[in-house]
Structure 1
Protein backbone atom coordinates (compact mmCIF):
# COMPACT_ATOMS: atom_id res chain seq x y z
CA UNK A 1 0.00 0.00 0.00
CA UNK A 2 1.26 3.48 -0.87
CA UNK A 3 1.39 6.15 1.83
CA UNK A 4 1.27 9.93 1.58
CA UNK A 5 2.59 11.19 4.91
CA UNK A 6 2.13 14.67 6.34
CA UNK A 7 5.03 15.12 8.78
CA UNK A 8 3.23 17.57 11.05
CA UNK A 9 0.05 15.47 11.23
CA UNK A 10 1.03 11.83 10.71
CA UNK A 11 4.44 11.62 12.37
CA UNK A 12 5.70 10.44 15.72
CA UNK A 13 7.08 13.78 17.03
CA UNK A 14 9.85 14.04 19.60
CA UNK A 15 12.01 16.75 21.10
CA UNK A 16 15.63 15.66 21.46
CA UNK A 17 18.46 17.24 23.42
CA UNK A 18 16.26 18.97 25.99
CA UNK A 19 18.85 18.42 28.72
CA UNK A 20 21.82 19.83 26.78
CA UNK A 21 22.12 23.49 25.81
CA UNK A 22 22.41 23.94 22.05
CA UNK A 23 21.23 20.42 21.21
CA UNK A 24 17.45 20.92 21.25
CA UNK A 25 15.68 19.96 18.04
CA UNK A 26 12.32 18.75 16.83
CA UNK A 27 12.10 15.35 15.13
CA UNK A 28 9.09 14.16 13.16
CA UNK A 29 9.68 10.47 12.49
CA UNK A 30 7.44 9.34 9.63
CA UNK A 31 8.68 5.84 8.86
CA UNK A 32 10.15 2.82 10.63
CA UNK A 33 9.14 -0.73 11.51
CA UNK A 34 6.40 0.54 13.84
CA UNK A 35 5.23 3.41 11.65
CA UNK A 36 3.86 2.09 8.36
CA UNK A 37 5.58 -1.32 8.75
CA UNK A 38 8.75 -0.36 6.90
CA UNK A 39 10.96 -3.40 6.48
CA UNK A 40 14.29 -1.60 6.00
CA UNK A 41 14.07 2.20 6.45
CA UNK A 42 13.73 4.80 9.17
CA UNK A 43 12.93 8.33 7.98
CA UNK A 44 11.73 11.71 9.11
CA UNK A 45 12.24 15.44 9.32
CA UNK A 46 14.40 17.20 11.88
CA UNK A 47 14.05 20.94 12.45
CA UNK A 48 16.92 22.82 14.07
CA UNK A 49 16.45 26.45 15.12
CA UNK A 50 19.47 28.77 14.60
CA UNK A 51 22.35 27.65 16.82
CA UNK A 52 20.85 24.24 17.56
CA UNK A 53 22.68 20.99 16.87
CA UNK A 54 22.44 17.25 17.20
CA UNK A 55 24.79 15.41 19.50
CA UNK A 56 27.86 13.76 17.96
CA UNK A 57 26.31 10.37 17.27
CA UNK A 58 26.34 7.40 14.94
CA UNK A 59 24.11 4.63 13.69
CA UNK A 60 26.33 1.56 14.17
CA UNK A 61 24.59 -0.65 11.61
CA UNK A 62 22.88 1.90 9.34
CA UNK A 63 23.81 4.03 6.36
CA UNK A 64 22.18 7.47 6.31
CA UNK A 65 21.30 10.01 3.69
CA UNK A 66 20.10 13.54 4.45
CA UNK A 67 18.45 16.14 2.25
CA UNK A 68 18.44 19.79 3.28
CA UNK A 69 15.04 21.30 2.49
CA UNK A 70 15.94 24.76 3.78
CA UNK A 71 18.52 26.43 5.95
CA UNK A 72 22.26 25.95 6.23
CA UNK A 73 24.85 24.61 8.59
CA UNK A 74 27.82 22.33 9.00
CA UNK A 75 28.17 18.61 9.50
CA UNK A 76 30.99 17.71 11.89
CA UNK A 77 32.83 14.41 11.76
CA UNK A 78 34.52 12.55 14.60
CA UNK A 79 37.83 14.30 13.84
CA UNK A 80 36.15 17.70 14.31
CA UNK A 81 36.33 18.59 10.62
CA UNK A 82 33.39 20.80 9.61
CA UNK A 83 31.82 20.57 6.16
CA UNK A 84 29.32 23.30 5.25
CA UNK A 85 26.02 22.58 3.54
CA UNK A 86 23.10 24.60 2.24
CA UNK A 87 19.58 24.11 0.95
CA UNK A 88 18.85 21.45 -1.63
CA UNK A 89 21.97 19.42 -0.88
CA UNK A 90 22.39 15.79 0.10
CA UNK A 91 24.72 14.24 2.68
CA UNK A 92 25.72 10.60 2.74
CA UNK A 93 26.91 9.21 6.08
CA UNK A 94 28.43 5.71 5.95
CA UNK A 95 27.50 3.04 8.47
CA UNK A 96 28.96 3.74 11.92
CA UNK A 97 30.37 7.18 10.98
CA UNK A 98 30.08 9.66 13.86
CA UNK A 99 28.49 12.95 12.84
CA UNK A 100 26.85 16.07 14.19
CA UNK A 101 24.56 18.51 12.36
CA UNK A 102 24.75 22.17 13.42
CA UNK A 103 22.52 24.99 12.22
CA UNK A 104 24.95 27.89 11.67
CA UNK A 105 22.41 29.96 9.75
CA UNK A 106 19.86 32.56 10.75
CA UNK A 107 16.71 30.59 9.83
CA UNK A 108 15.39 27.15 10.80
CA UNK A 109 17.21 24.21 9.21
CA UNK A 110 14.94 21.49 7.82
CA UNK A 111 16.81 18.20 7.38
CA UNK A 112 15.18 15.06 5.96
CA UNK A 113 16.87 11.88 7.17
CA UNK A 114 16.61 8.35 5.85
CA UNK A 115 18.64 5.47 7.18
CA UNK A 116 18.62 1.75 6.86
CA UNK A 117 18.52 -0.78 8.11
CA UNK A 118 16.53 0.43 11.11
CA UNK A 119 18.43 2.03 13.95
CA UNK A 120 17.79 4.25 16.90
CA UNK A 121 17.59 8.03 16.87
CA UNK A 122 20.18 9.62 19.13
CA UNK A 123 18.87 10.02 22.66
CA UNK A 124 20.54 13.42 23.08
Structure 2
Protein backbone atom coordinates (compact mmCIF):
# COMPACT_ATOMS: atom_id res chain seq x y z
CA UNK A 1 0.00 0.00 0.00
CA UNK A 2 1.22 3.51 -0.86
CA UNK A 3 0.33 6.50 1.34
CA UNK A 4 1.03 10.06 0.21
CA UNK A 5 1.29 12.87 2.80
CA UNK A 6 -1.43 14.68 0.83
CA UNK A 7 -3.80 11.74 1.37
CA UNK A 8 -3.94 11.96 5.18
CA UNK A 9 -5.23 14.69 7.51
CA UNK A 10 -2.88 16.84 9.57
CA UNK A 11 -3.32 17.07 13.32
CA UNK A 12 -2.30 20.56 14.46
CA UNK A 13 -1.54 21.45 18.06
CA UNK A 14 -0.16 24.54 19.79
CA UNK A 15 3.27 22.85 19.75
CA UNK A 16 3.33 21.45 16.19
CA UNK A 17 1.85 18.99 13.69
CA UNK A 18 1.39 15.25 13.15
CA UNK A 19 0.56 13.21 10.05
CA UNK A 20 -0.26 9.55 10.69
CA UNK A 21 0.54 7.55 7.55
CA UNK A 22 -0.24 4.07 8.89
CA UNK A 23 -2.55 3.26 11.80
CA UNK A 24 -4.61 0.21 12.66
CA UNK A 25 -7.78 2.23 12.06
CA UNK A 26 -6.79 3.49 8.60
CA UNK A 27 -4.82 0.61 7.05
CA UNK A 28 -6.42 -2.81 7.09
CA UNK A 29 -4.24 -5.35 8.88
CA UNK A 30 -1.80 -2.76 10.32
CA UNK A 31 -0.54 -3.66 13.77
CA UNK A 32 1.57 -0.57 14.39
CA UNK A 33 1.36 3.20 13.93
CA UNK A 34 3.81 5.22 11.80
CA UNK A 35 3.84 8.98 11.32
CA UNK A 36 5.77 12.22 11.07
CA UNK A 37 5.81 14.83 13.82
CA UNK A 38 6.95 18.44 13.53
CA UNK A 39 7.70 20.27 16.79
CA UNK A 40 7.79 24.03 16.26
CA UNK A 41 10.70 26.16 17.51
CA UNK A 42 10.49 26.94 21.21
CA UNK A 43 7.73 24.36 21.72
CA UNK A 44 7.27 20.91 23.10
CA UNK A 45 4.62 18.54 24.31
CA UNK A 46 3.63 17.85 27.89
CA UNK A 47 5.10 14.89 29.73
CA UNK A 48 2.85 11.91 29.08
CA UNK A 49 2.90 8.15 28.63
CA UNK A 50 1.42 5.37 26.53
CA UNK A 51 0.53 2.61 29.00
CA UNK A 52 0.06 -0.12 26.40
CA UNK A 53 2.54 0.72 23.63
CA UNK A 54 6.24 1.34 23.17
CA UNK A 55 7.26 4.37 21.10
CA UNK A 56 10.27 4.92 18.87
CA UNK A 57 11.40 8.38 17.77
CA UNK A 58 13.80 8.91 14.87
CA UNK A 59 15.10 12.46 14.36
CA UNK A 60 14.94 13.44 10.69
CA UNK A 61 16.20 16.97 11.33
CA UNK A 62 16.59 19.48 14.10
CA UNK A 63 17.53 19.21 17.75
CA UNK A 64 15.62 18.88 21.01
CA UNK A 65 15.79 17.98 24.68
CA UNK A 66 14.24 14.58 25.44
CA UNK A 67 13.20 12.96 28.69
CA UNK A 68 12.38 9.29 29.20
CA UNK A 69 11.09 7.89 32.49
CA UNK A 70 12.97 9.35 35.48
CA UNK A 71 16.23 9.77 33.57
CA UNK A 72 18.03 13.06 33.12
CA UNK A 73 17.04 15.16 30.08
CA UNK A 74 19.34 14.55 27.11
CA UNK A 75 19.96 16.17 23.74
CA UNK A 76 18.72 14.55 20.53
CA UNK A 77 19.65 15.56 17.01
CA UNK A 78 19.43 14.46 13.38
CA UNK A 79 20.01 10.72 13.01
CA UNK A 80 19.33 9.85 16.66
CA UNK A 81 16.80 7.23 17.73
CA UNK A 82 14.99 7.12 21.07
CA UNK A 83 13.20 4.05 22.43
CA UNK A 84 10.44 4.76 24.94
CA UNK A 85 9.20 1.64 26.76
CA UNK A 86 5.46 1.12 27.23
CA UNK A 87 4.25 3.11 30.23
CA UNK A 88 7.36 5.33 30.49
CA UNK A 89 6.61 9.03 30.90
CA UNK A 90 8.42 11.18 28.35
CA UNK A 91 8.57 14.62 26.74
CA UNK A 92 10.27 16.37 23.84
CA UNK A 93 11.13 20.09 23.79
CA UNK A 94 12.55 21.98 20.82
CA UNK A 95 14.68 24.77 22.31
CA UNK A 96 16.08 25.84 18.93
CA UNK A 97 14.88 28.21 16.21
CA UNK A 98 14.52 25.42 13.62
CA UNK A 99 11.60 22.97 13.35
CA UNK A 100 12.20 19.49 14.72
CA UNK A 101 11.09 16.65 12.40
CA UNK A 102 10.57 13.18 13.84
CA UNK A 103 9.40 9.81 12.60
CA UNK A 104 7.27 8.22 15.33
CA UNK A 105 6.06 4.64 15.74
CA UNK A 106 3.80 2.98 18.31
CA UNK A 107 3.81 -0.78 18.79
CA UNK A 108 1.16 -1.99 19.02
CA UNK A 109 -0.58 0.77 17.12
CA UNK A 110 -3.59 2.71 18.26
CA UNK A 111 -2.08 5.12 20.82
CA UNK A 112 -2.59 7.99 18.37
CA UNK A 113 -6.31 7.86 19.23
CA UNK A 114 -5.53 9.45 22.63
CA UNK A 115 -4.56 12.67 20.83
CA UNK A 116 -8.08 13.09 19.47
CA UNK A 117 -9.16 14.37 22.89
CA UNK A 118 -6.47 17.06 23.19
CA UNK A 119 -8.03 20.48 23.86
CA UNK A 120 -5.73 22.28 21.39
CA UNK A 121 -6.28 19.81 18.50
CA UNK A 122 -7.28 21.18 15.11
CA UNK A 123 -7.64 18.76 12.21
CA UNK A 124 -6.81 19.91 8.68
CA UNK A 125 -8.35 17.67 6.06
CA UNK A 126 -6.20 15.69 3.64
CA UNK A 127 -4.82 17.81 0.82
CA UNK A 128 -5.02 21.11 2.74
CA UNK A 129 -2.10 23.04 4.18
CA UNK A 130 -2.02 23.54 7.94
CA UNK A 131 -1.08 27.10 8.82
CA UNK A 132 1.20 27.64 11.81
CA UNK A 133 0.45 30.64 13.97
CA UNK A 134 2.69 31.37 16.90
CA UNK A 135 0.71 31.98 20.07
In the alignment, what sits opposite 2:4?
A: 6
What displacement does 1:76 show?
1.8
TM-score (normalizing by structure 1) = 0.82
Match of 1:69 among 60, 84, 107: 60
**More relative contact order in 1 or in 2 (CA 8 Å, sep 6+)?**
2
Superposition CA RMSD, Å: 1.7
Count of residues paired in the alignment? 115
Query: Superposition pairs for residues 50-89 of structure 1, below 5 Å?
Result: 50-79=41-70, 81-89=72-80
Could you tell me how far 1:53 is from its partner in structure 2?
0.5
Please report the TM-score for the alignment, with normalisation by the length of structure 2. 0.76
Q: Give how far 1:81 is off.
A: 2.3
Structure-2 separation of matches of 1:38 and 1:60: 22
- 1:115 aligns to 2:106 (yes or no): yes
Contact 1:31 1:38 in 2 (8 A): no
Q: Distance in 2 between matches of 1:54 and 1:5?
A: 26
Aligned residue runs from structure 1 range 21-32, under 5 A: 24-32=15-23
Q: Which runs of 5+ in 1 are unaligned?
A: 19-23
